[in-house]
């Protein structure tokens, strides 16, 4: 069984990124993977200063250990000013090749306006630099304020199908890389 860690890059209480990530995790789990949510709202991380040790912040080791022990990742970020959220970028900066190399990763961005690929492209560059493998399928949820119903489910059937394909690709690629 493969293990996939989902990390949400939003600190908002009613985060659309968290809703999108949960949609993806549910689908990955339905395909037989073990999933775990690493919610950056629940852990205390320092700003990365380029160092390798953060003794006053034990959650840095929690983040690193959980990611290192996983087979793959799903990163979900709101798009802020045309790029990745600072909180997700900071979490990634607190890790190194040791934690992120060879991780199969799926990417999700959430926007208030029309969907685009800015944050997704930036995440692809970041993961490439640490020798991660990003699946070709990616999801940008535009106009997120109207994409989900009151139960956090996707309203659009085509977008829901894209999440299904995304999950299948992540599981398939992770299994292939593990071999």
Q: Using CA atoms in the order 92, 98, 103, 105, what is the torsion angle rounded to 10 degrees?
A: 10
CB-based contact 163:27 (threshold 8 Å): yes
Q: pTM of the predicted model, to two decimals?
A: 0.96
The rounded Cα 40 to chain-centroid distance in angstroms is 11
Q: What is the mean pLDDT of each run of 10 residues along the chain (179 residues)?
A: 96 94 98 97 96 95 97 97 96 97 97 87 97 97 92 93 98 94
Residue with tokens 């990003």: 134
For the segment(s) 3-178, the CATH number from 3.10.20.740, 3.40.50.360, 3.30.9.10, 3.30.70.1560 is 3.40.50.360
Alpha-carbon torsion (40, 44, 45, 47), positive or negative: positive
Question: Between 157-178 and 16-30, two packed helices, what is the crossing angle to 10 degrees?
Answer: 60
Q: What is residue 178's predicted lDDT score, i.e. its pLDDT? A: 87
Q: Domains of the chain: which residue ranges?
A: 3-178
SS percent in the chain: helix, strand, coil, step 5 = 40, 20, 35
Give the residue ranges of DSSP H helices in 8-153.
16-30, 58-69, 86-93, 97-100, 118-129
Check residue 159 and give its pLDDT: 95
Which of helix, strand or coil describes residue 162? helix
Please, what sign has the CA dihedral across residues 133, 179, 23, 97? negative
């Amino acid at each position: 069984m493969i293990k996939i860690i989902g990390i949400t890059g939003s600190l908002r209480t009613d985060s659309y990124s968290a809703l999108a990530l949960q949609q993806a995790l549910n689908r990955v789990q339905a395909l037989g993977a073990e999933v775990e949510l690493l919610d950056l709202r629940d852990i205390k991380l320092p700003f990365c200063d380029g160092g390798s040790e953060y003794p006053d912040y034990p959650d840095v080791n929690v983040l690193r250990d959980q990611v290192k022990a996983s087979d793959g990742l799903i990163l979900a970020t709101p798009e802020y000013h045309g790029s990745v959220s600072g909180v997700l970028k900071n979490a990634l900066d607190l890790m190194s090749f040791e934690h992120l190399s060879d991780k199969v990763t799926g990417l999700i961005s959430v926007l208030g306006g029309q969907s685009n690929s800015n944050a997704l492209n930036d995440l692809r560059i970041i993961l490439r630099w640490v020798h991660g493998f990003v699946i070709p399928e990616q999801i940008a949820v535009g106009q997120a304020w109207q994409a989900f119903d009151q139960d956090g489910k996707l309203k659009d059937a085509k977008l829901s199908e894209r999440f299904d394909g995304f999950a299948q690709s992540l599981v398939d690629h992770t299994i292939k890389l593990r071999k």
